[in-house]
Structure 1
């Protein structure tokens, strides 16, 4: 799973470069929606939540992520910033749902934020600031979708993916046609490599990787599952350095480790809080 997720951002960087941000996102989501079409029927009373989840997870998340990949070159740095989705989800839960945060959770969020600041103010990374900020918006979209997903307990994973594909395509396809005219027509004539990476993104990262995560989360608490995914940004950083020659600096390593440490603290503190509530 770490390899699938870690390599996914590489796959998306290649497809965005071969096509364009909105077109690459629309193509990926349309394929996901078509594959998952047999599971399109929503459970009663869940249509609005499914539509909102799909719009955020598919549309807004990929919109910001693909724009970040378009304007930034250091894919590894983007992968590290993407880990902020977990602390952001916690903060949004406190602000929107009025959930209480304990001291350990606050400390974890603070450590993660400091890690991102250390990363951003690296002179070799600072030039990537627009892309990093777009990645923060993508992480915010992902964190927001996790709150919506709480209303979808028991909904089959493939149904979630169908609505993600449907609503994401509904947002990104018109943007592709209007803002990237003629790019969609290039899709059938793409070289093998971008098409292969697109297939990997759909089948490997989305259906297998995220599907596996959903399966694990359905059987184990978040705090037990999330640490298993922390190697994904390490894979991304190593693969980005190997494939694109992007630098790996001391500040990047320190900031990345601090961010990951913050995510671990937040996750473990949440597990402890849930145990205390159930006691």
Structure 2
């Protein structure tokens, strides 16, 4: 079968998508190690500083978009990492957090229904329920049940991510580099006073941190944020959303498996079942949403001709 003819994606596209999933999947390991070496807020602050430096030349005023752009920076660059880094600081079973992180997709769908009056039917409702049920199973697993504080913080982070996904809809047409420059700037502004208040000793001791630990922060900032998001943008510029979105579903699988192997934490049958159910729900919601979005776009283009 000709891959390109059937999906529009060629070997280079699949290679880029695979690299993207690996970068995103291994990011949870990098963040966990950075949090342990630097403290949660200090690691988050340093990550956003690196993002800002890498994306600095994209920083510019975007007329009519500054409200959502600044708010996105505060939430996505600041508060999101407060919740996520704290969750990794208090948890040992990182794989359980990777599964709980899949709540972002159903949360964003629910918010779209409430605030954007988006209509959903039984297929996506079923996907939302599956995703939530999969994460809910973790509560009944002794290996994951001990991580309830971390799972709760991950759920809060996922909810913030869902809000950010709505804000990004208002930033269509704004260059990705500009968006992440503002995320890096506003994230740094939010996280610095928090780190100074709670982790002043960690900030003062940054000069003594081993380069290997700083490397994990750099991996998160450059590998996951800049290169990972850049790969996603590159694919979306060349292929339909419905072809690209399924490729991202490999990232949580990489996260769960890699975290279990790297940290030697148990991946029990109940956790695997919960992960499969959650990922199935996420797949239903994301793929269905992408196809509906493309269908609406085709109708709009046809009506404007």
TM more than 0.5: yes
Q: Which residue of 1 aligns with 2:233?
A: 214
Moved more, 176-185 or 269-278: 269-278
Query: Which whole-Å CA distance do the structure 1 matches of 2:274 and 2:71 have between them?
Result: 33
Coordinate RMSD, CA, aligned? 1.5
- Partner of 1:246: helix, strand, or coil? coil
Query: Which whole-Å CA distance do the structure 1 matches of 2:292 and 2:64 have between them?
Result: 30
Q: Which residue of 1 aligns with 2:292?
A: 273
Provide Cα deviations, 1:7-33, integer angstroms capped at 9, x if missing partner: 101000000001111111001001111
Of 199, 210, 213, the match for 1:194: 213
Is 1:177 aligned to 2:196, yes or no? yes
- Displacement of 1:91 in angstroms is 0.6
- Partner of 1:44: helix, strand, or coil? coil
1:8 and 1:201 in contact (8 A); partners too? yes
Is 1:56 aligned to 2:56, yes or no? no
- Displacement of 1:272 in angstroms is 4.2
Q: Which residue of 2 aligns with 1:236?
A: 255
Query: Which whole-Å CA distance do the structure 2 matches of 1:228 and 1:125 have between them?
Result: 27
- Displacement of 1:188 in angstroms is 2.2
Q: Which residue of 2 aligns with 1:151?
A: 170
2:245 and 2:287 in contact (8 A); partners too? no
Query: Which whole-Å CA distance do the structure 2 matches of 1:188 and 1:147 have between them?
Result: 38
1:76 and 1:233 in contact (8 A); partners too? no
2:104 and 2:158 in contact (8 A); partners too? yes
Name which one, 1 or 2, has greater alpha-carbon Rg.
2
Query: Which whole-Å CA distance do the structure 2 matches of 1:204 and 1:175 have between them?
Result: 25
Matched residue count: 279
2:97 and 2:154 in contact (8 A); partners too? yes
Q: Which residue of 1 aligns with 2:267?
A: 248
What does 1:1-279 correspond to in 2, within 5 Å?
1-274=20-293, 277=296, 278-279=298-299
Provide Cα deviations, 1:95-144, integer angstroms capped at 9, x if missing partner: 11111111101000001111011122211110101100110111111111
What TM-score does the superposition give when structure 1 sets the normalisation length? 0.95
1:87 and 1:112 in contact (8 A); partners too? yes
- Displacement of 1:216 in angstroms is 2.5
Query: Which whole-Å CA distance do the structure 2 matches of 1:159 and 1:275 have between them?
Result: 25
User: Structure 2: which 5+ runs fail to align?
Assistant: 1-19, 300-305
- Displacement of 1:226 in angstroms is 2.4
- Displacement of 1:196 in angstroms is 1.5
List 4+ stretches of structure 1 deviating above 6 A: none
- Displacement of 1:181 in angstroms is 1.6
Distance 1:235 1:271, change over 3 A: closer
What TM-score does the superposition give when structure 2 sets the normalisation length? 0.87
